[in-house]
């Protein structure tokens, strides 16, 4: 089952080699926010956005180290958090998650058991 964006387009799996650039983009965005005068950042990993999709087994169709186990489903968000924390400090970073939400058919097949 593929996720669908608000315009009805099917989303595709990221290629493993694309992921480091996205992690770096989050790092740079956090640095830019601090340089612009913000006190901190909240990484949005909820409501069907990219990070959320990695943690939902019904839509995470990755076939690499980012799928298959709890540790692997959390790998991408944890890489982002680590990069952002290393850039601006842990006291300036939050992350928003929605583990029990099912946005646009992107649910967890066993929400009572937690993340897979």
Catalytic (active-site) positions: 49
Joined together, the tokens standing for residue 74 give 């959390």
Closest listed residue to residue 73, CA positions, set 85, 89, 95, 57: 57
Chain-centroid distance of CA 67 in Å reads 13
Joined together, the tokens standing for residue 6 give 């608000």
Question: What span, in angstroms and rounded, lies between the C-alpha atoms of 51 and 106?
Answer: 12
- Secondary structure letter of residue 63 according to DSSP: -
């Amino acid at each position: 089952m593929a996720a669908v964006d608000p315009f009805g387009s099917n989303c595709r799996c990221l290629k493993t080699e694309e992921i480091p650039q996205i992690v770096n983009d989050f790092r740079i965005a956090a640095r830019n926010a601090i340089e612009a005068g913000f006190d901190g950042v909240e990484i949005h990993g909820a409501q069907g956005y990219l990070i959320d999709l990695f943690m939902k087994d019904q839509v995470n169709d990755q076939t690499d180290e980012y799928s298959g186990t709890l540790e692997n489903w959390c790998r991408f968000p944890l890489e982002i958090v680590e990069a952002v924390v290393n850039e601006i400090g842990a006291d300036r970073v939050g992350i928003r998650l929605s583990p029990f939400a099912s946005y646009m058919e992107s649910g967890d097949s066993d929400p009572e058991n937690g993340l897979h």
